[in-house]
Amino acid sequence: MDRMHEAGLARGVAKALRDRGLCLGQVQLAVRGGHHDAVEFEAELRAHLAAEMPEEASAITNLRVRRLPCGHLCPSCGVEFESEVVAPACPKCGVETVAELTDEVIEIELMEPVR
């Protein structure tokens, strides 16, 4: 796993939140794409967020991170479909598929109104 990727994403999230005057308790993160194990990716992302935003340590534990569906292509039979699972099996032939987005992309979603 490329830990630098998660570090860069955490740096981007921290900067975006600071630039907008938001804190982690006001948002959830939506992840699309990738080829890493989702549990490992999320653990690494949280660790890097803790390093980038030590003042938010208590909020990192409760931060909601959800997977969004993204396009996948079966290299064997060519079927295209959407799934939030990393490298799901093709629904037609069962072969492991390839995501359209090979690196995770994070969207920051506001959960409560900004005052």
Q: Which pLDDT value is given to residue 93?
A: 95
3-state DSSP of the chain: CCHHHHHHHHHHHHHHHHHHCCCHHHEEEEEECCCCCHHHHHHHHHHHHHHHCHHHHHHHHHCCEEEECEEEECCCCCCEEEECCCCCECCCCCCECEECCCCCEEEEEECCCCC
Cα–Cα distance measured from residue 33 to residue 97, given in angstroms and rounded to the nearest whole number:
12
Question: Could you tell me the two tokens for 29?
Answer: 């993160």
pLDDT tens, per residue, the chain with 115 residues:
456 889 999 999 999 999 999 999 999 999 988 867 888 889 999 999 999 999 999 999 999 999 998 888 899 999 999 988 877 899 999 998 877 877 888 999 998 665 5
Q: Which pLDDT value is given to residue 115?
A: 57
Say which amino acid occupies 86.
V
Q: Which pLDDT value is given to residue 107?
A: 93
Question: Could you tell me the two tokens for 79?
Answer: 């079927």
pTM of the prediction? 0.82
Q: Which pLDDT value is given to residue 1?
A: 46
Contact indicator for 25, 62 with CB cutoff of 8 Å: yes
